[in-house]
Amino acid sequence: MTSQTWTEETDPDCIDDASAAAMLDGAPWRRLAVIGDSTAIGLGAPYRGYRRLTSFARMADTLAMAVGPINYMNLGTPWATSRQVVEEQKDLMVAFKPDLVMISCGGNDLMAETPDYAAIAANLTELFEAGKSIGAQTMTMTLADAFPDAAMVRFRSSLARLNELVRGIAAEHDAILIDLWHHSVGHRPDVMSNDRIHFNMSGHAVLAAEAVKALAAHIPQQANTA
C-alpha cells in the first residue's frame, strides 16, 4: 500500500480522534497559542480521503476532547519571517497568557540570498524566552525532508541547518519538539500541495498525530495515574 491509496482512517501514521484524545487525558494545558508562519496557520491543499482540517486546529480539537473546553488562538501569518513573528505576534501571544505555545517559523528566512542564521537564532530565542517568561510550556517542530520537486532540492542543506538550530534552541528552553526531518511522511510522493512548499491535508493529519504523541510524552506522570 502506498500513501496514494490511504485515507485518514487507514493511514498508519494517523491517529483516530478517540485514541488521540485518550493519549492527552490528564494534560494540564487549557490555553493554547500558535505563532509563526504558513506552517503555523496551516496553509495546505485539500487531499482526497482526509478532512480539511489543519494540523494545529486538529491538535487543539484533540486537547479539547481530552480535557474539556480550551482557549485557542492562532496568530500564524503566511510567509512571515522570524523577525516579523517577533514584531507582530510576540506581544499578542504574551497578552493571551497561554500555558502552551507552539512556535513555528524560520523557513521563510531561507528565501534570502544569504540566510542570516544568527538572526534567525536570535529571533527564535526571543520567542521562546517570551513564552517561558509567562510560564508557558513551549513547543516547536522541525520541517520535513520533503523535496519532490527537483527545483526545491537546493534548499535542502539550508533547511537541515535551520532544523539543527531549532533542535538546539528547543533543548535550551525545555521545549517539546516535533521532529519531522527523518519522518517517512517526507518521502511520500504526494504529500505536498501544488506549491511544493506546504503539506497538503494528508501531511497535516500526520503532523497532528506527531504533535499529539509529543504532547502525550510530556504530560506529568501523576496526571496519567490520578
Range of the domain at 73: 3-217
**Nearest of 167, 193, 189, 169 to residue 180 by alpha carbon:** 167
Domain-located, residue 166? yes
- The pTM is what? 0.92
Return the pLDDT at 2: 46
Q: How confident is the model over 108-150, as pLDDT tens digits?
A: 999 999 999 999 999 999 999 999 999 999 999 998 888 756 6
Nearest CA among 27, 18, 19 for reference residue 221: 27
Q: Does residue 26 form part of some domain?
A: yes
Asked if residue 66 belongs to a domain, the reply is yes
In a domain, 188, yes or no: yes
Tens of pLDDT, residue by residue over 56-75, are: 999 999 999 999 999 999 99
80 assigned to some structural domain: yes
Domain presence at residue 225: no
What CATH number is associated with residue 170?
A: 3.40.50.1110
Asked whether residue 9 is assigned to any structural domain, the reply reads yes
Of the two residues 136 and 222, the one the predictor is more confident about is: 136
